[in-house]
Structure 1
Amino acid sequence: MSNTLILKSSILGNYSQSNQIIDQVVEGKTNVTVRDLAADPIPVLTMEIATALRGSTDDLTSELKQIVQLSDELIAELQNADQVVIAAPMYNFTIPTQLKNYFDLIARAGVTFKYTDTGPVGLIENTKVVVLTTRGGVHKDTPRDSMHAYLQTILGFMGMTDVEFVYAEALNMGDEPAQQSRTTALDTLGALV
């Protein structure tokens, strides 16, 4: 039985198209862990946090120790997952800040990747990733879709190279195109998860 980790990142809560689609797909499924990065935000990376994530926790403040512990917890969830489903709505042509904060806290040398003589090597392997991205307009396969390349890069950097994208676009371009796009995304995501 496989374990699925769901990462939600929309600030819209129950009004979020990405949250609604994912909730429908995983309804009734077992072995699913849901991490809502907007409802339970990840701290923004600072020099102090970056330093704490790289070293000993012996002489850290209690706040920094909690952040390192959160990073360890997030990484353990990821390592335990056979499949990761990321809800990544497009905000201003990129991923939500909440999702970026998550990646900043889990991208740790020696833990999720390592440096070698030939370059970095990801340490999170054999994990299938499905990205559901929702957009008000149509951006797929255009220069405006910078989030696709970023997500491929950051996930691959940590070893997750089996990545599929599911698009729900035109959500603010009228009822008919929006409904058609939501239905297609729901069917596609349902077949993958």
Structure 2
Amino acid sequence: MKTLLRIDSSPRKSTSISRQLADVLQSKLEAEVSYTTKNRDTYYDQLIHLGNEDSVTAYFTPENEQTATQKEAIKASNILATEFAEADTYLFAVPMYNFSVSAGLKTYIDLISRAGISFQYTENGPQGLLKNKKAYVIITTGGTKLGTEVDHVTGYMTTFLNFLGITDIEFINSDLIMTNAEEILEGAKTKIQNLSL
């Protein structure tokens, strides 16, 4: 059975639009493709926090040369990066905060972007290792129009996923929610239900 990895990144819980839309898409994916779903919450998961200097040095030290302190410092990153690499499909719920992704999501991205796990360095530069995978990215905004010069979420998520080798990306946009939340939310749910998987 395939694995769906869902990544939530809103500090809101019950009132989060991105989480509500992710629930709809997750249900559709599980019903139509029979996924086993794993969940990561970039604001409330205990594993998702940056380490210290030991973790930075450990990333660039061969495993057999790492000290016990270094191994402990990157333990969480190893778990998250391996889990991410092993998933077949990704569901990102991404609210825009100050024109970009939230701090929790940026931290998560830093932790799972690991040389030797999700990408590798080659003589031609970095090369993604996560090819032939699918990502769904739900983007919500309060008052910012996606696709404009101040949308730093769409480009960032595209660059990040492409860097890891993931090029099959389906964006589900739900922007300008503060203008008419109920209508926009229902419109986004309809878009999700009409997606061809």
Q: TM-score range by the shorter chain?
A: 0.7 to 0.9
**TM-aligned CA deviation for residue 31 of structure 1:** 0.8
Q: Does 1:59 align with 2:67?
A: yes
Q: Which residue of 2 aligns with 1:184?
A: 187
Q: Per the alignment, in what secondary structure is the counterpart of residue 10 of structure 2?
A: coil
Q: Does 1:74 align with 2:56?
A: no
- The answer as to whether partners of 2:81 and 2:114 remain within 8 angstroms in 1 is no
Q: Per the alignment, in what secondary structure is the counterpart of residue 13 of structure 1?
A: coil
Superposition pairs of residues 113-128 of structure 1, within 5 angstroms: 113-128=119-134
Q: Does 1:90 align with 2:96?
A: yes
Q: Does 1:5 align with 2:11?
A: no
- Structure 1 CA distance for aligned equivalents of residues 37 and 108 of structure 2: 19
Which ranges of structure 1 fall in alignment gaps of 5 or more residues? none
**TM-aligned CA deviation for residue 146 of structure 1:** 1.1
- Structure 2 CA distance for aligned equivalents of residues 66 and 189 of structure 1: 41
Q: Which residue of 2 aligns with 1:109?
A: 115
Amino acid at match of 1:157: F
**TM-aligned CA deviation for residue 58 of structure 1:** 3.8
Q: Per the alignment, in what secondary structure is the counterpart of residue 153 of structure 2?
A: helix
- The answer as to whether partners of 2:5 and 2:90 remain within 8 angstroms in 1 is yes
Q: Does 1:39 align with 2:44?
A: yes
Q: Report the CA distance shift for 1:44/1:135 in structure 2 as closer, same or farther (over 3 A).
A: same
Identity score, percent: 33
Amino acid at match of 2:181: A
Q: Per the alignment, in what secondary structure is the counterpart of residue 100 of structure 2?
A: coil
**TM-aligned CA deviation for residue 66 of structure 1:** 4.0
- Structure 2 CA distance for aligned equivalents of residues 45 and 158 of structure 1: 22
- Structure 1 CA distance for aligned equivalents of residues 190 and 110 of structure 2: 31
- Structure 1 CA distance for aligned equivalents of residues 44 and 196 of structure 2: 26
TM normalised by structure 1 equals 0.87
- The answer as to whether partners of 1:54 and 1:108 remain within 8 angstroms in 2 is no
Which ranges of structure 2 fall in alignment gaps of 5 or more residues? none
- The answer as to whether partners of 1:71 and 1:105 remain within 8 angstroms in 2 is yes
- Structure 2 CA distance for aligned equivalents of residues 118 and 60 of structure 1: 33
TM normalised by structure 2 equals 0.86
- Structure 1 CA distance for aligned equivalents of residues 73 and 14 of structure 2: 27
Q: Report the CA distance shift for 1:19/1:126 in structure 2 as closer, same or farther (over 3 A).
A: same
- Structure 2 CA distance for aligned equivalents of residues 46 and 149 of structure 1: 29
- Structure 2 CA distance for aligned equivalents of residues 155 and 95 of structure 1: 14
Amino acid at match of 2:57: T
- Structure 2 CA distance for aligned equivalents of residues 137 and 11 of structure 1: 18
Superposition pairs of residues 157-176 of structure 1, within 5 angstroms: 157-173=163-179
Q: Per the alignment, in what secondary structure is the counterpart of residue 4 of structure 1?
A: strand
Q: Report the count of equivalent residues.
A: 188
